[in-house]
A and B are shown apart, each in its own frame.
Chain A
Amino acid sequence: MRLYDKIVKKPWPYWIGGSILAVLNVSLLIATDSVWKITTGFLYWGAAVLEKLGYNSADWYYFSAYDHGLKESETFFNNSYTVLNIAVIVGALLAVLWANEFKWKKIKNTRQFFFALIGGVLMGYGTRLSFGCNIGAYFSAIPSFSLHGWIFAVFMFAGAWLGSKILFKYIL
């Protein structure tokens, strides 16, 4: 019971979490020849919705440039990003359930809703310019010895500083 508490109930120290994430990212590269990336999957979902609505999103210039297109036999919904992203959600859900801590958490007010939406749009737009989020263009890019990871880190720090100012002023 004590071991159960230690693993399932008490939060793990950050450094253990970081080390496991690093090992998992390396394992992913070995097993699938691809690093941990998230946000292109979100774009694919957006493109899938547009396709359903009758737009020809697959013809966009974006998907023909820089290796951005789908791999063979993949669709905007059926692809490795979808599997990985859903797996991360399910993993978190399982961890919370085993800890007996699951709870639906509703949205507090319209202001929270508004900031969540705006923040999401800003992040989404940003990731298309920087070729990834703080996983694809940072957590997986710096170990790949690519300069763009370091540049992303520096300017994300600047953005986080600006965001903190906004948070102090309007949200708190």
Chain B
Amino acid sequence: MVEYKLDCLYEACPIPLLKALKQLEKMKIGDILIMHTDHNCSIVNVVEWTKKQGHYIDYVEIVEGEWEIYIEKAR
């Protein structure tokens, strides 16, 4: 049950998604990944990909144009 943070500020598409993908591979079931991103494509493509993989996901807009995405590895 570890929490990981991933800083994706100022990264261009598709780096946030690829970083998340890489990080999730290393994690154990039940671990949580918190992504901090300002790329507004991430809240679509990261969310879509993670759902497809069957993990839990949700996001919050923390400042205008910045989001935190929470992913719980489910399998």
Binding site for B on A (CB under 8 A): 11, 96, 100-103, 105-108, 112, 116, 168, 171-172
Contacts and interface: CB of A to CB of B under 8 A. Distances in A.
Shortest Cβ-Cβ A-B pairs, 6 listed: A103-B65, A108-B10, A101-B65, A11-B44, A100-B64, A101-B64
A105 B10 contact: yes
Interface in B17-75: 18-19, 22, 38, 40, 43-44, 61, 63-66
A18 B16 CA distance: 24
Contacts, number: 34
Interface of B: 9-12, 15, 18-19, 22, 38, 40, 43-44, 61, 63-66
A100 B65 CA distance: 8
Contact of A172 (B10, B15, B63): B15
A171 B11 CA distance: 10
B64 A106 contact: no
A169 to B, nearest CB: 12
Contacts of A108: 9-11
A107 B9 CA distance: 10
Contacts of B9: 108
A66 B11 CA distance: 40
A171 B19 CA distance: 11
A107 B18 CA distance: 19
B12 to A, nearest CB: 7
A96 to B, nearest CB: 8
Contact of B38 (A11, A100, A103, A112): A103
18 contacts: A11-B40, A11-B43, A96-B40, A100-B64, A101-B61, A101-B65, A102-B64, A103-B38, A103-B65, A103-B66, A105-B38, A106-B10, A108-B9, A108-B11, A112-B12, A116-B12, A172-B18, A172-B22
Nearest to B44: A11
A108 B8 CA distance: 10
A136 B64 CA distance: 34
Nearest to B12: A112
Nearest to A104: B65
Given A103-B38, A112-B10, A168-B18, 4 more contacts: A101-B64, A101-B65, A107-B10, A172-B15
Nearest to B48: A14
